[in-house]
Chain A
Amino acid sequence: DTGVSQNPRHKITKRGQNVTFRCDPISEHNRLYWYRQTLGQGPEFLTYFQNEAQLEKSRLLSDRFSAERPKGSFSTLEIQRTEQGDSAMYLCASSLGGQGHQPQHFGDGTRLSIL
């Protein structure tokens, strides 16, 4: 179990640029989640995959945001035309599927700063 890996750890970019983050889940986990966390807040759900299928998206996920999980392994989260309000920590988590609630394992996040 090598844990959930997120890259890059930090990203600084100018407003209006596109950014892409990557998440590598724990290998046997078929569920993958993206969250956004701002200072002083808990994680807010963005989207969720089971294998390669994106099953749920939050209203927070505007049309500038897109997430993929090709082949049901790693996932990418892209933000187009970044805005100041996108500055946040973006967290990825993975879990086993099946019945019941399996605990989520979180990566250390990607901190995005928009200049």
Chain B
Amino acid sequence: AQSVTQLGSHVSVSEGALVLLRCNYSSSVPPYLFWYVQYPNQGLQLLLKYTSAATLVKGINGFEAEFKKSETSFHLTKPSAHMSDAAEYFCAVSASGGSYIPTFGRGTSLIVHP
């Protein structure tokens, strides 16, 4: 069984500030972990993925995430927020082996203030 918990349904930051979106996972086998972004009335777009290689994963648009097995976490960060980063962000986990169907978290809405 696998699950994802995203802490905070909304995160508000000022433009230029650090972005930190939290994700904790549960998986009985080594996980694959993902972050997706969703803009209004659009589908999800992959930001980055962890697949047991480097624990620090760099993605698109300046985002990165660090896999910490001891903390079962995969938090998403960006050093400096842009207005265009305002969107819904979803963390997802899937188990290595099997059908690779991901389980998504409930999402975190990122609000960026000018």
Contacts and interface: CB of A to CB of B under 8 A. Distances in A.
Nearest to B95: A101
B99 A4 contact: no
Contacts of A48: 99, 101
Interface string B39-55: 00111111001010000
B43 A42 contact: no
Interface residues of B, number: 26
Contact of A40 (B9, B42, B46, B94): B9
B46 A42 contact: no
A25 interface: no
Interface string A95-111: 00000111111111101
A108 B43 contact: yes
Nearest to B36: A106
B43 A101 contact: no
Nearest to B31: A101
A26 interface: no
Contacts of A104: 44, 46, 102
Given A48-B99, A101-B32, A43 B41 contact: no
Interface of B: 4, 9, 32, 34, 36, 41-46, 49, 51, 90, 92, 94, 96, 99-107
